[in-house]
Structure 1
Amino acid sequence: MKAWRIAIEKAALDRSCEGARKSGGHWHNEGVPALYAAMTVELAVLEKFVHTEEVEEEPLVLVAIDLPDDPSFGLDLRREDLPEGWDSLDDVGSAAVFGTAFLKRREHLYMRVPSVIVGEGVNFVINPAHHAYDKVKLSVARTFRFDPRMFKR
């Protein structure tokens, strides 16, 4: 199965997820590594875009993430499976607490969750501490640049 992300080139293939561990994110607390991805390239672009203030100074790349096709590695979550407020921009951490618990259990390689941006879209939270993480392949598909018109809001 293929997933996608837009990343700063120098960190694009960092399998340790050090940047995410240091900063935390929507689905995980600081100190816990995680790799975020989207089901489609288009959603990966939107996810990066909403977390970018202006055209990135550093070069960006489109990263292809090959996940093992074994469905037992994944946990599929629907909106009703998630804690209240997980999709709120004012969420005080319900998604991070939920995701951190998922990551610490190490039962699944990834969880598939709805996108906050596009509710019908699917994102992945991939666990680098899972025993099957060595089967995950990261590769740079191509360089990526936002269309400058996207920042003229």
Structure 2
Amino acid sequence: MIVYRLSKKKHKNELSGKGAEMSGGRWNSVGNAVIYTAESRALCTTEIAVHTPLGIVPKDYFLISIEIPENIKIKQCELNSLPKNWRTFPHIQSTKKVGDEFLKQNDFLVLKVPSAIIQDEFNYLINPGHKDFMKIKIKSVEPFTFEKRLFGR
């Protein structure tokens, strides 16, 4: 399976989870390293767009295609197990707990979670501390230009 990630140039060849570890996110608390990826290029783009102030077009980004081997078992977060307000911003503690538990248990390399932005689409969280992490491969890294109209320009 191929998943996607958009990253600034200086981090384009890294798969460390350090950014999420430093800032936290919907599916992890500060202090827990995890790599956020998306099932499509479009979802990656949307994820960046919702976190960018209107009128600012992100520059210096690269699209990273990441291969998750087909034989890797993926844990799935079921939508019906989440509270009704799981999509809210700022992120609620219950979603952070889901990701933190996934990392703590360390039973799976990948956790499939629903996108909070696009209904019926999914993000894939990769655990850089898992024993099978070295099986994850960067397939390609290519410059990415955002469409200005997405950012109100």
Task: Give the TM-score normalised by structure 1.
Answer: 0.90
SS at match of 2:141: strand
SS at match of 1:102: helix
Distance 1:5 1:102 in 2: 20
* Aligned equivalent of 1:56: 58
* Cα distance change of structure 1 residues 7 and 103 upon mapping to structure 2, 3 Å threshold: same
SS at match of 1:123: strand
Distance 1:91 1:148 in 2: 27
* Aligned equivalent of 2:147: 147
Q: Which moved more, 1:89-98 or 1:110-119?
A: 89-98
Segments of structure 2 that go 5 or more residues without pairing to the other structure are none
Q: Which moved more, 1:27-36 or 1:142-151?
A: 142-151
Segments of structure 1 that go 5 or more residues without pairing to the other structure are none
Distance 2:139 2:9 in 1: 11
* Aligned equivalent of 1:110: 110
Per-residue deviation, 1:92: 2.8
The number of equivalent residue pairs is 151
Q: What root-mean-square deviation, in Å, do the aligned CA atoms of Structure 1 and Structure 2 show? A: 1.6
Distance 2:64 2:15 in 1: 12
Q: Which amino acid aligns with 2:86?
A: W
SS at match of 1:6: strand
Task: Give the TM-score normalised by structure 2.
Answer: 0.90
* TM-superposition CA deviations, 1:113-142 (whole Å, max 9, x none): 110011210111111011111000124431
* Cα distance change of structure 1 residues 140 and 55 upon mapping to structure 2, 3 Å threshold: farther
Distance 2:96 2:83 in 1: 10
Asked if 2 retains the 8 angstrom alpha-carbon contact of 1:84 and 1:94, the reply is no
Per-residue deviation, 1:90: 4.5
* Aligned equivalent of 1:89: 89
Asked if 2 retains the 8 angstrom alpha-carbon contact of 1:27 and 1:97, the reply is yes
* Aligned equivalent of 1:26: 26
Q: After the TM superposition, which residues 114-153 of structure 1 pair with which residues of structure 2 at under 5 Å, given as runs?
A: 114-152=114-152
* Aligned equivalent of 1:70: 71
Identity rate of aligned residues, in percent? 31
Distance 2:82 2:128 in 1: 22
SS at match of 1:28: coil
Asked if 2 retains the 8 angstrom alpha-carbon contact of 1:67 and 1:135, the reply is yes
